[in-house]
Amino acid sequence: MVMHTCYVGVGANLGNPEAQIRSAYSYLQQAPCISELCASSLYASKPMGPQDQPDYVNAVFGFGTSLDPIPLLDLLQHIEHEHHRVRKERWGARTLDLDLLFYSMESIESERLQVPHPGILVREFVVIPLAEIAPTWVLPNGCEANAYAEKIETRALIKIGSI
């Protein structure tokens, strides 16, 4: 069985974001196809899209899985659904968002999935938490996460706690 190293960007800004992120972590802990689950600290960040929404709480989860990419995406979307995620507006408010950032070092382009996630390099709320749990992970621009995290503009990103 081949194990793939995966990183998932996590965000929420409706309801109780910290509790929802912790709950998503719990779901993954209980999934038999997930191993060696770890999480970054929790961070508060300003919204990327419309500014008339609450600030976000973000984190990055890392784990190993034997799942292929689309079944993994299905699992992540199932967890979002269990947390009452409604997809209305791009970059709109949400109860839970789980974005597959990396699936080993593979590049995937399909109707449902693009990996590495295309927005990684402009999202401090992804780069900085990723650097915390995978400092030497190589980003799409060839930089290691920790080196890039030192350069990225933080836009009021604040560490607020842990899982």
Specify whether 85 is catalytic. Answer: yes
Specify whether 123 is catalytic. Answer: no
Which residue in this structure is represented by tokens 């600030």?
55
Q: Which of 87, 90, 97, 155 is catalytic?
A: 97
In one letter, which amino acid is 69? P
Q: Which of 52, 74, 99, 155 is catalytic?
A: 99
Q: Which of 55, 87, 90, 94 is catalytic?
A: 94
How far CA 83 is from CA of 16, 92, 96, 125, 128, in Å, comes to 11, 16, 6, 21, 25
Helix (H, G, I), strand (E, B) or coil at 121: helix
Closest CA to 106 of 131, 74, 75, 138: 138
CA distance linking residue 76 with residue 21, whole number of Å: 12
- What's the half-sphere exposure (Cβ side, CA atoms, 13 Å) at 47? 16
Q: Which of 85, 112, 123, 155 is catalytic?
A: 85
Specify whether 97 is catalytic. Answer: yes
End-to-end CA distance of the chain: 29
Write out the catalytic residue numbers.
85, 94, 97, 99
